[in-house]
Copies of this chain bind each other. A is one copy, B any other.
Amino acid sequence: MEKPEPLWLAIHDTLRDEIARGQWRAGSRLPTEADLAQRFGVNRHTVRRALAALAEAGLVQARRGAGVFVRAAERLPYRIGPRTRFHQNLLDTGRAPSRRILHTALARATEVEADALSLRPDAPLHVVEGISLADDQPVSLFRSAFCATRFPELGRHLASGDSITRALRALGVPDYTRKSTRISGYAADVLQARHLEIAPGDMLLLSEAINIDPDGRPLEYGRTFFVAARVDLVLDGPETGAIVA
C-alpha cells in the first residue's frame, strides 16, 4: 500500500502551485480560511495547517483581521563569486539542478568574444548554448565560449551534456575562477521567452563572465540570461570580501 499524502500537504501544494502560476498575484489576498475550507471540503484547521506551511516558506503572510496575503514569490538566490558553479550553487539551496543543451558548435570569435578571451578575432571557438533548470523550472539561458585551439577535444564533452567543470578537468584544467562579471538588465525577446517559459518583454538579468585558469589565462567567456522573476544574484561576504585571513 502507498502512504497517503496528508490532506493539508495536498492543499499546501495546490496553493503553492497556484501562487507560482500567478493565479494569486503578489500582494493580493487569498480567500478566507473559511472559504478555502469549503473549497477543499475540509475543516478550517486543516487549511490553517497548509497556510502555516506556506507562511513558513515565506510565500504568504497572514494579518489578523485582514486576511492572508501573497508575498512576492521567493527567488532563488544564485551566488556569484570567484568559484561560481551552477550545480553546487543549486544544491546549496536545496534545489535539483539540471541542464538542457540546445546547441553546440564550432564558431569564429566575434570582436567581443575575442577581446574577452584574449584571442584574435575569428579565432575558432567551441560554443555551447543551453538552458539551466532548478526543480525542472527554467532559470537561465547560457552561452559559453572556449578557445578551440587550446581545447580541440572539448566539443565532444560539451555535446554530451557533461558538466563543464568535469569536462575541463578531463582536459587538464583542475580549477578555474571568476575573473570578472558584468550584470545588466534586458527584456526577453520571443525566442528567449519561449525557452525560459516566460512572456516576451519579461525581465532578464544578463551576467557576462570571464573565467580564468589558475595561471590567470582566460578560459571561458560566458553569457547567462537569468529570469529576473526567479533569481536573485547574490555576492556574499567572504566570496567578495577583500581580506581573507
Contacts and interface: CB of A to CB of B under 8 A. Distances in A.
B81 A233 contact: no
A66 interface: no
Nearest to A234: B182
A241 B182 contact: no
Contact of A185 (B185, B235, B242): B185
Contact of A234 (B180, B185, B238, B243): B180
B182 A82 contact: no
B234 A181 contact: yes
Interface residue range, chain A: 35 or more
Interface string A176-199: 011111111111000000000000
A80 B233 CA distance: 13
Contact of A242 (B80, B186, B205, B239): B239
Contact of A235 (B77, B231, B235): B235
A60 to B, nearest CB: 15
Interface centre among A183, A232, A239 (most CB of B within 10 A): A183
Contact of A244 (B75, B178, B182, B244): B244
Q: What's the dominant secondary structure at chain A's contact region?
A: strand
B184 A242 contact: no
User: Number of copies of this chain in the oligomer?
Assistant: 2
Contacts of A178: 240
A237 interface: yes
A241 B81 CA distance: 8
A232 B184 CA distance: 5
Contacts of A243: 244
Contacts of A235: 80, 180-183, 235, 240
A203 interface: yes
A73 to B, nearest CB: 12
Contacts of A205: 183-185, 205
A236 interface: yes
Contacts of A179: 237, 241
Given A82-B241, A182-B234, 20 more contacts: A75-B184, A80-B235, A83-B242, A177-B242, A180-B240, A181-B235, A181-B240, A182-B233, A183-B183, A183-B232, A183-B233, A184-B228, A184-B231, A184-B232, A185-B185, A185-B205, A185-B228, A185-B229, A187-B203, A235-B240
